[in-house]
Chain A
Amino acid sequence: MGGSEDNRKIPWIAWSSICLRKKYEGLGLREFNLALLGKWCWRLLADRGGFWYRVLVARYSEEAGRLEVGGRSVSSWWRGITKIRDKVGDTEGGWFTKRVARKVGDGTNTFFWYDRWLGDVPLCRQFSCLFDLAMNKLSTVANMFSLGWEEGGGVKLEEEVVGLGGGDSSGV
């Protein structure tokens, strides 16, 4: 380790000890890396104006406002990002998704089914039976609202279809 003043050497430290939390005298490198990758996940949602985003769209293609995971042969940087972005649930991986949600104003830029804007999970997961039957899966919140969700509106119509569909309305 170390070296004298005019003969500096690189101090070698085991990877496993660098990754230890600070309280165990490591650098917490793993978590730091996750936090930095999380910043990209955030920018994928909130800061799409840049050229970098267009490059990613060209490379991984975009569907319903979301970039595709892109199979196996992708960069480890991108794999790390999609892992954080797509991981849900209470296990350690869900730290990002459970803290980010869409705040709806006029509803024109929020996907009714895909974006998490109401409740803990996107409506397409919470009401997957309804979602399977939805005619337009890319409806925005504003679209659905203008159809009306009280009497005879888009949501109601689809609920009725589920009812007629026979028995599988348990998720509704």
Chain B
Amino acid sequence: MECRHLLNNIVLQPDVSDRWQWYLDIEEGYTVCGAYHILTTQVSPLVDLTEDLIWHKQVPLEVSILAWRLLRDRLPTKNNLLRRGIIQVESIRCMAGCGHDKSTSHLLLHCDIFGSLWQHIRPWIDVSGDDPHSLCDHFIQFTHYIDDLKTRQYSLHLLKNYR
């Protein structure tokens, strides 16, 4: 139904041929210069920022490793297991039965069942807020909620138990 709803407003233009578009330059298409710009300005500063949070002396090593794998999408989620040929495509659905593929961001943020846990965790550490859409933002937000290092360690422990 949802699929048909999406298609409802689509009208084909008989005289125009299909073509690829690069969002940063709709007319000319891909440029190395434009791509370099987004790669150096938007993407990794966040990742750089997380480095210090992940590899903090006060954080237990196994927690650091888990966080590192999380942000590089190296956790053995079903999606990643499928990619490595360990499971078959039929068993890729999320355990919660919500019908989505079990990717890292689905599992930790967008899943109705598992993702909603964050809202329950917040009261424990006495903060309030919304969940950002990207894992990286989420990670940074959660670690910055609290300046107190003990609590920060605690939230990383929570993350660990999330496994």
Contacts and interface: CB of A to CB of B under 8 A. Distances in A.
A171 to B, nearest CB: 4
Contacts of B6: 118-119
Nearest to A39: B32
Contact of A100 (B23, B38, B43, B97): B23
Contacts of B129: none
Contacts of B12: 104-107, 141-142, 145
Interface string A105-116: 111111000000
B64 to A, nearest CB: 18
Interface stretch (B14-22, B54-62, B115-123): B14-22
Interface residues of B, number: 49
A149 B33 CA distance: 41
A128 B24 CA distance: 29
Interface string B1-42: 111101110101111111111111000011011011011101
Given A105-B13, A119-B6, A170 B99 contact: yes
Nearest to A131: B3
B39 to A, nearest CB: 4
B143 interface: no
Q: How large is the interface on A (under 10, 10 to 19, 20 to 34, 35 or more residues)?
A: 35 or more
Contacts of B105: 89-91
Contacts of B15: 105-106
Contacts of A35: 32-33, 35-36, 39
A78 interface: no
A149 B7 contact: yes
A95 B44 CA distance: 11
A105 B7 contact: no
A129 B101 CA distance: 11
B21 A103 contact: yes
Interface stretch (B133-141, B146-154, B155-163): B133-141
A109 B20 CA distance: 11
Contacts of B73: 89, 91, 93
B36 A28 contact: yes
A77 B45 CA distance: 26
A106 B16 contact: yes
A102 B16 contact: no
B16 A105 contact: yes
Given A123-B3, A170-B98, A172-B2, A101 B21 contact: yes
